Amino acid sequence: MNVPTKFLILAAAAALASACNPVLRTHGYIPTAEKPQAVNPATDTKTSVLSRLGNPSVKSTFEEEIDEDVWYYMSAVRQRYAYLRPQIEDRTITAIHFNPDGQVTKVAEYGLEDGVPVDYVSRKTPTRGRELSALEQIFGTIGRLPTDRLTGANQQTGGGGGAGQGR
């Protein structure tokens, strides 16, 4: 084999091998210097957490009692191979609980293993009338077409009659 042929085979093999590498994408909160897990419940407040970590991904809104406020810092890493559906490789959710005075009371960390799959309801809302098949939809308009427009029997010209019309 000559050198250009070897080079082409090597380049093709490298291109095929690189196509098999996963593409990793990080979504959500990306910690800069400090991680949310480093929050200390004994000393930190809302102000110190906000200055060190920035705005949370989500603030709690579903609590019935307003005595406790929770900030969530969420991040996820998705892995994708070529044309396949992306898979979540890692997920971290840090929940920081505050009392009414703004003092941190608890820091909880949840991972991918703590997630629970959600079952969506597959029911459909009934609609009035009947459902048409594909053939009924295609051929259902035969006989309802405006024949005067198709055949050109109604030959009107011009617009709405401006100056000089009808003299």
CA distance 38 to 22: 31
Strands 87-98 and 69-80: what pairing? antiparallel
104-123 per-position pLDDT tens digit: 998 988 888 887 776 677 77
59 in helix, strand or coil? strand
**What CA–CA distances, in Å, run from 142 to 66, 129, 134, 135?**
63, 20, 14, 12
Q: Is the pLDDT of residue 159 over 60?
A: no
Q: Are 60 and 69 in contact (CB under 8 A)?
A: yes
Higher pLDDT, 146 or 34: 34
Average pLDDT value for residue range 68-81 = 86
Chain position carrying tokens 């259902």: 140
39 backbone dihedrals φ, ψ, rounded to 5°: -70, 135
The domain ranges of the chain are 22-114
Average pLDDT, whole number, for the chain? Answer: 78
**pTM, to two decimals:** 0.56
118-145 per-position pLDDT tens digit: 667 777 776 777 777 888 877 777 766 6
